[in-house]
Amino acid sequence: MFLFCRNTGLLIEYDKNINIFQFHQRSVCRSIAPLFKYAYVCVNDAILFFGGFHYPNASKAVHKYSIRENKWMAFENALPSPLYYCVAILNEENNHIHIIGGKDDKMTTVSTHMETKVYLWDPLQLSKHEIKIINQYWIRILDLKLGWIDDFNKFIFKYCR
């Protein structure tokens, strides 16, 4: 289990066989450290954080924490408006994130519902269909008249990581 609150990050492990908790500190990037009341969702190896609050300002920032690499990333693309006290959930197929409710930068409760594709924040989540569409687009813009080799799909998939 992970716990992030302001400038504190913890990985909490519980061994039920010996009934012991272990705590390991995790870094918190500077741009998210002052924030709290953000929405978050875990997608495979990443935790995505949306918005947040640091008195007197709400944030429209989006951050990603890579669990495997223990690294943070702040995205240039952000929420369309500042938001905090919102909730983020994955759909059943794990390919869309819904950001619901919250408060805006004027501390007004809003009935927001934003939907975003997971692969925008985590390119590892591209489906085979989406990879095929990207390949077709690249072929069109490059005006290739050569045959396509299936190994190129693997190469492009690795490139998107």
Question: pLDDT tens-digit profile of 20-66?
Answer: 999 999 999 999 999 999 999 998 888 999 999 999 999 999 999 99
Contacts of 5 (CB under 8 A, 6+ apart): 36
Residue 12 lies in a domain: no
If one counts the domains in the chain, the total is 2
Residue 108 lies in a domain: yes
Q: Are 103 and 134 members of one domain?
A: no
Between 99 and 143, the more confident residue is: 99
Range of the domain at 134: 126-161
Residue 115 lies in a domain: yes
Secondary structure string (H, E, C) spanning the chain: CEEEECCEEEEEEEECCCCEEEEEECCCCCCCCCCECCEEEEECCEEEEECCEECCEECCCEEEEECCCCEEEECCCCCCCCCECCEEEECCCCCEEEEECCECCCCCECCCEEEEEHHHHCHHHCCHHHHHHHHHHHHHHHCCCCCCCHHHHHHHHHHCC
Q: Are 114 and 133 members of one domain?
A: no
Q: Are 76 and 98 members of one domain?
A: yes
Residue 158 lies in a domain: yes
Q: Are 42 and 92 members of one domain?
A: yes
Residue 47 lies in a domain: yes
Global pTM value = 0.71
Q: Are 112 and 137 members of one domain?
A: no
pLDDT at 94: 78
Q: Are 102 and 46 members of one domain?
A: yes
